[in-house]
Structure 1
Amino acid sequence: DFPRLREVLDVLVRQGRSLGMYLVLANQDVNSHVDQLLNNVGWRIALKVAKPEEIQIIERGLPSPVRAGQGYLRLSSGASEIIEFQAGYAGFPVKTRSEAEEETFRIFEVEPDGAYREVWKQTLTSSVVMEEEALPPKEEEFILNNIRQAAKALNIRPARRIYLDPLPATIPFEAVMEEAGIQPVFREGKWFPEGDSPHVVAYWGKVDVPELCLQDVLSLDFDEKDGHLWIVGAPQSGLDLALSSLIMSLALRYPPDQVQFYMVELGAGELAPFETLPHTGAVIYPQPDDPQETERLGRLFNLLERVFQERSKAAKGMRGKSAPRPALFVVINSFGELRANFPDEADRLTRFVRDGGRLGIHFIITSARGPELTRSISNMIARRLVLQLVSKDDYLDIIGKPVPPLAKSIPGRGYWVDDGIAIAQVATPPADVHEQMQAMREAWHGVTPAPVEILPSEIPLTALLEELKEDSRALLPVGRAYETLETIAVPLEENPTWLILGPRESGKSNFLACAARCALEREQGAQWEVRAYALRRSPLTALQERFSRLRALSVPEDIVQDVQQLIEALQQGEMSEGKRLLILIDDLGFAFQPGR
């Protein structure tokens, strides 16, 4: 489990004394590794052993100890003296006053030659009154307390620790932000202006590098390297905690006009709460049996394609400048499910991952195991958070080198892989995170990300007219674009003649009726006069009762006569100045049928 321990011990055993370092090594048995260290070990102690031959580290032929604490001490000085001893046990309760009126405690220093030098002495008499306790302290506790008192009395400074305590199981999110010196842009229920940051950086936990005796804030600069992150962890490993901490770190530090999220949830719903964030354009839940969510997934990739192309063109000639804003984060929870159920979309990711980072398109991908993420993608993602996994082989596959399994099953505890390998603990998001996200949405009145929606089967004309009310041009609203869902409205001055084609019940008559209403209901409606020629049954005839400036004719002779009158009026210039004429014919093909 610790491949470098043997190498380090070899160096310390050979050179430790010259460096002022002394080692006390303990092992349960004698093996080949212990044998190789013995040549540089001075003192040896053998207690009760499991195998009689193991007593040979002291001397051949010695009888094996038979009770706990019994053993042999071999001194390296002189003729390698061997001392048989019985170790004392400091786990008994301390004697009370009634058991011992007077007791002397001494502390000795053991010299290099084995001699004892007394450094402290204390005699307890009847004047020393011990506190009455339900359970008296053990001797070892009492001895340690006396050592501390002696060190204090003698002004002996405690030894400097050569290690840091392990990372705690829970690290408050606020503590991480404070240590990083970061002030959230949303605080006290308000958004505060923040200057444009050249880089997008998340502070979302702490890292521990034991070999360097270093602990620091876990930070991730998405504008460095490839710009993406891979989080891998087995169930109950704290993957949801990692996602929550990372997303909230970005959302609290950057407003929605600088950072935006698009999320694909294929797991257990960990991303669902973040639909409330004003930064979130969509949380998509694709399933093979849900055509609407599947369509939204396809639309998300089409949106990424458009943004990718736009930013690629804009990036030409801008070498050296920061990535475009807003930074788009695509969070895919459970890539294994995406790969199994939507293989085409999974394959499309490769190009985005390869070139998206420099264009401000970043991916945060999770998986339960390493092999779930295709090599073509995993090889391009340098930074990884590896949480609890099932076996050591899983760590080797993802990290690329042997590491000991994580000692404790702590949610959010894992290995952080960047330039090196460090132990990491993800921060715990604020307890009121849901209320905070709702407050962020209510307080934000700026730019928000484009939503990812499906094309509705019906679009109310009133909705289109509402969008066009600020435009004074003569516009004909066609509907919404399939790819972008943007409203399509064509200026009639530029396109005055239209041919509407389609089979029966395809919506031709409905389109003509909407065109008539659009001309008559807008603020410029007083300028329009509409002629509707219905060669078949049509909704245009019903509009005549509603609009006085619409004239609907259905008898062929009447239609021919009206057209002739219009032609004459146009030729003679009798049309009123400022007036516009819209002619709608439904269904023109009917006039050319045999017998008509």
Structure 2
Amino acid sequence: MLDVLVRQGRSLGMYLVLANQDVNSHVDQLLNNVGWRIALKVAKPEEIQIIERGLPSPVRAGQGYLRLSSGASEIIEFQAGYAGFPVKTRSEAGEETFRIFEVEPDGAYREVWKQTLTSSLVMEAEALPPKEEEFILNNIRQAARALNIRPARRIYLDPLPATIPFEAVIEEAGIQPVFREGKWFPGEDSLHVVAYWGKVDVPELCLQDVLSLDFDGKDGHLWIVGAPQSGLELALSSLIMSLALRYTPEQVQFYMVELGAGELAPFETLPHTGAVIYPQHDDPQEIERLRRLFNLLEQVFQERSKATKGMRGKATPRPALFVVINSFGELRANFPDEADRLTRFVRDGGRLGIHLIIASARGPELTRSISNMIARRLVLQLVSKDDYLDIIGKPVPPLSKSIPGRGYWVDDGIAIAQVTTPPANVHEQMQAMREAWHGVTPAPVEILPAEIPLTALLKEDSRTLLPVGRAYETLETIAVPLEENPTWLILGPRESGKSNFLACAARWALEREKGAQWEVRVYALRRSPLTALQERFSRLRVLSVPEDIVQDVQQLIEVLQQGEMSEGKRLLILIDDLGFAFQPGREALAQAFNTLGRLLEGQEHVVLIASGLLDELRMQLASPLVKLLRQNRTGLVLSQNTSEADWLGASIPLAYRRMDLPLGRGYFVHKGRLQLVQTPRWEK
């Protein structure tokens, strides 16, 4: 561009003064169009040739040659004046006059300013006098003001300041926040969600403007990348607050995944925020919340895809959902499956109002399948020049100053950007926004609790169905009619919740308000918490001594054989640790249970629920009771042991096998169909 200005500048009324420390190929290209030349003291004698060959090189500072281009080139040797000396003091100056002349077209001088230096204009002897340069410039400024001479129009703008107040950008953009003066006001009915969150500077165009981002344009996403201390937290905060203050929670909602240093934690207060998730390997509940967030996004994606089919050109679905991910590198390293699931939302989510804001410390942290689909990027301070090239796609000079929030804005072109500082008292403001909002809020990302009191499930139902627990996928209560499922097998290792479920089944049957009256018999073959129930219910019989159990089972067999069950009565048999009955020395107990097993098949008023260890039961496949329990394919598997699920004719999905199961969590199997559930906790 400089060579064009040198060739054509005069015709445009532009005169250039060019200075350089040496003569090089770039200077040589300009000399043919440069009229006047000055050469001062040079490092290489041959460089004086820009004036004329053979001239001796100047030796003093300020000594040099002037070559004039008018007519035959005229060369003048000169010694430049030095304006760095101090101004004369009053005692030295006497009376001097300062004049400014205008040079007429014919070369004549016309005086335009005159000022006589008096004692009031010259520094006192005892004070530090200004330099002549400062004094002359000051007189020129005074003359310009006195003569009403307007300053020359600047051909450049100052660099962006290091800090830009949030309020200044909002005012310049002409935006009225929807939350102001402690109140919510109706949001504008806009087809586009636009954030105003900084300033951009394009030096080559001498242009500075508000940094705005239309999320309903292009792909609808944003990538922010910056090294530590680059202001990445500042950029996220400013962007989130810009959206939250301009749009209501009915228009814009946030779901955030925090894998960094907690920068997103404060925004949990916003009424726009559905969840801030902190996934860590040692926190299974947060891992579950992360998976449920992606399931929620999948559900919204599917619903909006169906709703917008055939509606090309119509408005983007609302509310706009923003998924903010801080430290994508950590997500990709620790949760690769979830990171891969983002690809679909990056590709097609923008048109459905699902927008991603991804923050990373380095460019390579994003897979190419994701980064190639995100057009808008804020590139903050990075470590090396190559890092900029990889993200921006073309060479750019490294940012000269390490200013938090300063970076390159990549959109249709490349500009220098500075994000705003968040609003003053941002935490108090977010709290006030939540307290003042009474409208629609985002759907929370709920998880399956590690403990569910039995009373909580009993309140949900009319007590006609046995509450098995809450389903992992739907978070809904699973309850079944016990009469229609007469035989259950509960498998799992020790202390997995088998006895707890039997206790819940007993309490449910004994506290039923409707239907038939239940009698409950508990055979606790090893130490069992079920013995604590006997004192509370008269219709409950708990036996733990093997001889007593044999006698009671034989009596029950006689009742069943003679058909002496009272009409309207039902019997619930609970066997805790069935495998104990087949230990050596327990032959009488095993024989009694096997006889009972032969009688129970086809009984309408008797329900059997037995628990046991697979290692003990798998050796008793010939037992009529074990065979009956297994062939009905109904019960619980309270472990990740695929062999236990196979015993009930079911298979554990691969997606579940890597999960850690808290106490009481397992798989409800009904006729071979498997569901992951959290069983209720019996409150003693």
TMscore range, shorter length: 0.7 to 0.9
CA 555–29 in structure 1, closer or farther in 2 if over 3 Å, else same: closer
Partner SS, residue 128 of structure 1:
coil
The separation in 2 between residues aligned to 1:392 and 1:281, in whole angstroms, is 39
How far did 1:329 drift?
A: 1.8
Larger Rg: 2
Question: How far did residue 14 of structure 1 move?
Answer: 0.6
Aligned pair in 2 of structure 1 residues 538, 47: CA closer, same or farther (>3 Å)? same
| Cα 1:52–1:318 shift into 2, 3 Å | same
Structure-2 residue corresponding to 1:444? 437
Structure 2: state its 5+ residue gaps: 585-683
2:239 counterpart SS class = helix
Shift of residue 514 of structure 1?
3.9
Cα 1:214/1:464, change in 2 over 3 Å: farther
CA shift, 1:547, in A, is 6.5
Q: 1:237 aligns with which of 230, 240, 250?
A: 230
Residues 89 and 124 in structure 2, CA contact (< 8 A), matched pair in contact too: no
Counterpart residue number, 1:64:
57
Q: TM-score, normalised by structure 2?
A: 0.72
Give the whole-Å Cα distance in 1 for the aligned partners of 2:185 and 2:499.
52
Partner SS, residue 243 of structure 2: helix
Q: How far does residue 260 in structure 1 lie from its aligned partner after superposition?
A: 2.5
Comparing 298-307 and 284-293, the one that deviates more:
284-293
Could you tell me how far apart the structure 2 residues matched to 1:489 and 1:252 are?
45
1:314 counterpart residue number: 307
CA spacing shift, 1:112–1:33, aligned 2, 3 Å = farther
* Contact persistence 2:329–2:360 (CA under 8 A): yes
| Partners of 2:464 and 2:515 within 8 A in 1 | no
Kindly report which structure 2 residues correspond to 1:28-177, keeping only aligned pairs within 5 A, or say none.
28-109=21-102, 118-125=111-118, 134-177=127-170
Question: How much has 1:413 moved relative to structure 2?
Answer: 0.7
Tell me by how many angstroms 1:400 deviates: 1.8
Measure the CA separation in 2 of the matches of 1:191 and 1:574: 72
Distance 1:453 1:104 in 2: 85
Contact 2:520 2:540 in 1 (8 A): yes
CA contact (8 A) 2:463 2:513 kept: no
Instruction: Identify if the C-alpha distance between structure 1 residues 327 and 128 changes in structure 2 by more than 3 Å, giving closer, same or farther.
Output: closer
Structure-1-length-normalised TM-score: 0.82
Displacement after TM superposition at 1:503 (Å): 8.2
Q: Distance in 2 between matches of 1:94 and 1:15?
A: 41
CA displacement at 1:532 relative to structure 2: 9.4
**Higher mean Cα deviation, 172-181 or 310-319?**
310-319
CA RMSD of aligned residues (A): 4.9
Is contact 2:195-2:239 (8 Å) kept?
yes
Report 1:529-544 matches (<5 A).
Answer: none
Distance in 2 separating the partners of 1:269 and 1:537? 47
Q: How many Å separate the matches in 1 of 2:467 and 2:407?
A: 55
Instruction: Give, in whole Å, the separation in 2 of the partners of 1:552 and 1:301.
Output: 47
State how far apart, in whole Å, the 2-side matches of 1:181 and 1:473 are.
60
Change (3 A) 1:556 1:397: closer
Residue 149 of structure 1 and its aligned partner are, at CA, apart by: 1.9
* Counterpart for residue 4 of structure 1: none
Cα deviations by residue, 1:336-379 (Å, 9 ceiling, x for unpaired) = 23333333332222122111111222111122222222211111
1:63 shift after superposition: 1.3
Please name the residue that 1:298 is paired with: 291
Determine the C-alpha separation between the residues in 2 that align with 1:355 and 1:200: 17
Question: 1:198, CA displacement in angstroms?
Answer: 2.7
Within the candidate set 501, 517, 521, 1:511 is matched to: 501
Q: CA deviation at 1:221?
A: 1.5
Q: Tell me: CA distance 1:389–1:508, structure 2 relative to 1, closer, same or farther (3 Å).
A: closer
Compared CA separation, residues 422 and 527, structure 1 to 2 (3 A): farther
The answer to which of 177-186 and 527-536 deviates more is: 527-536
- Are 2:280 and 2:286, in contact at CA under 8 Å, matched by a contact in 1? yes
Q: Is the 8 A contact 1:519 1:525 kept in 2?
A: no
On the 8 A contact 1:229/1:381 being kept in 2, the answer is yes
Deviation at 1:155, TM superposition (A): 2.3
CA spacing shift, 1:163–1:263, aligned 2, 3 Å: same
Going from structure 1 to structure 2, the CA distance change for 1:231 and 1:462 (only over 3 Å counts) comes to same
Q: 1:489 to 1:200 in 2, by over 3 A?
A: farther
Conserved? CA contact 1:302–1:483, under 8 Å:
no
Shift of 1:237: 1.2
Report the 3-state secondary structure (helix = DSSP H, G, I; strand = E; otherwise coil) of the residue aligned with 2:484. coil
Measured in 2, the distance between the counterparts of 1:522 and 1:221 equals 59
52 and 277 in structure 1: CA distance in 2 versus 1, 3 angstrom threshold: same
Counterparts in 2 of 1:363 and 1:490: CA distance versus 1, 3 Å? farther
- TM-superposed deviation, 1:526: 12
* CA-CA distance at 1:135 after TM superposition: 2.8
Cα shift readout 1:213-246 (whole Å, capped 9, x = no counterpart): 3222211111211111011112211111111111
CA gap of 1:128–1:31, structure 2 versus 1, over 3 A, is closer
The offset of 1:82, in angstroms, is 1.0
SS in 1 for 2:47: helix
Equivalents in 2 of 1:159, 1:439: separation in Å? 49
CA separation of 1:254/1:37 partners in 2, compared to 1, >3 Å: closer, same or farther? Answer: same
CA contact (8 A) 2:288 2:447 kept: yes
Contact 1:520–1:526 (Cα < 8 Å) also in 2: no
Give the superposition deviation at 1:408: 1.7
Structure 1 window deviating more from structure 2 (486-495 vs 399-408): it is: 486-495
Higher mean alpha-carbon deviation, 119-128 vs 357-366, is at 119-128
Q: Could you tell which deviates more after superposition, 64-73 or 111-120?
A: 111-120
Which 10-residue stretch deviates more, 490-499 or 445-454? 490-499
1:432 CA displacement: 2.0
Answer with 486-495 or 395-404: which moved more.
Answer: 486-495
**Displacement of 1:73 after TM fit?**
1.0
Does the CA contact (< 8 Å) of 1:266 and 1:334 recur in 2?
A: yes
* 2-structure distance, mates of 1:107, 1:578: 121
- Deviations 1:244-296 (CA, angstroms, capped at 9, x unpaired): 11112222223334323222223333223333333333333334455454444
Most deviating of 249-258 and 56-65:
249-258
After superposing the two structures, state which structure 1 stretch, 162-171 or 521-530, moved more.
521-530
d(CA) in 1 for partners of 2:375 and 2:22?
42
The structure-2 alpha-carbon separation of the partners of 1:230 and 1:82, relative to structure 1 and needing over 3 Å to count, comes to: same
Offset, 1:497: 11
The answer to whether the 8 Å contact 1:473/1:491 transfers is: no
Return closer, same or farther for 1:340/1:557 CA change in 2, 3 Å cut-off.
closer
What is the CA–CA distance in structure 2 between the aligned matches of 1:113 and 1:82, rounded to whole Å? 22
Is the CA contact (8 Å cut-off) linking 2:463 and 2:508 kept in structure 1?
no
Secondary structure of the corresponding residue to residue 389 of structure 2:
helix
**Cα displacement (A) at 1:565:** 17
* Contact persistence 2:91–2:125 (CA under 8 A): no
- Please tell me whether the aligned partners of residues 257 and 326 of structure 1 are also in contact (alpha carbons under 8 angstroms): yes
Q: Conserved in 1, the CA contact under 8 Å of 2:68 and 2:74?
A: yes
Show CA shifts across 1:383-437 (max 9, x none).
0001112232322222222222222221111111112211110101134222333
Q: How far apart, CA to CA, are the structure 2 residues paired with 1:306 and 1:62?
A: 84
Q: Cα offset for 1:211?
A: 2.9
How many residues align? The count is 585
Match of residue 13 from structure 1: 6
- 1:275 partner SS: helix
Partners of 2:222 and 2:361 in 1: CA distance: 14
Deviation at 1:560, TM superposition (A): 16
Report if aligned partners of 2:226, 2:362 keep a CA contact under 8 Å in 1: yes
SS in structure 1 of the partner of residue 133 of structure 2: helix
Specify which of 358, 363, 374 is matched with residue 370 of structure 1: 363
- Displacement of 1:48 in angstroms is 1.1
Gaps of 5+ in 1: 1-7
SS of 1:576's partner is coil
**How many Å apart are 1:493 and its aligned residue?**
12
Residues 432-481 of structure 1: CA deviation (Å, up to 9, x unaligned)? 2223333333444444434445544321234445xxx5877966544322
Q: 1:566 to 1:450 in 2, by over 3 A?
A: farther
Deviation at 1:207, TM superposition (A): 1.2
Partner SS, residue 301 of structure 1: helix
Alpha-carbon spacing, 1:363–1:458, altered in 2? closer, same or farther (3 Å): same
2:342 is matched with 349
Report the secondary structure of 2:289's partner residue: helix
Q: Does the aligned pair in 2 maintain the 1:77–1:113 contact within 8 Å?
A: no
Contact 1:238 1:412 (C-alpha < 8 Å) held by counterparts: yes
Q: Look up the SS of the partner of 2:78 in the other structure.
A: strand
CA offsets, 1:102-155, max 9 Å, x none? Answer: 112222345678776544333324575768994333222222222122222222
Shift of 1:23: 0.7
CA, structure 1 residues 497+187, in 2 after alignment: closer, same or farther (shift >3 Å)? farther
* Counterpart-to-counterpart distance in 2, 1:492 and 1:41: 101
Could you tell me whether the CA contact under 8 Å between 1:93 and 1:138 is conserved in 2? Answer: yes
Which has the higher mean CA deviation after the structures are superposed, 43-52 or 209-218?
A: 209-218
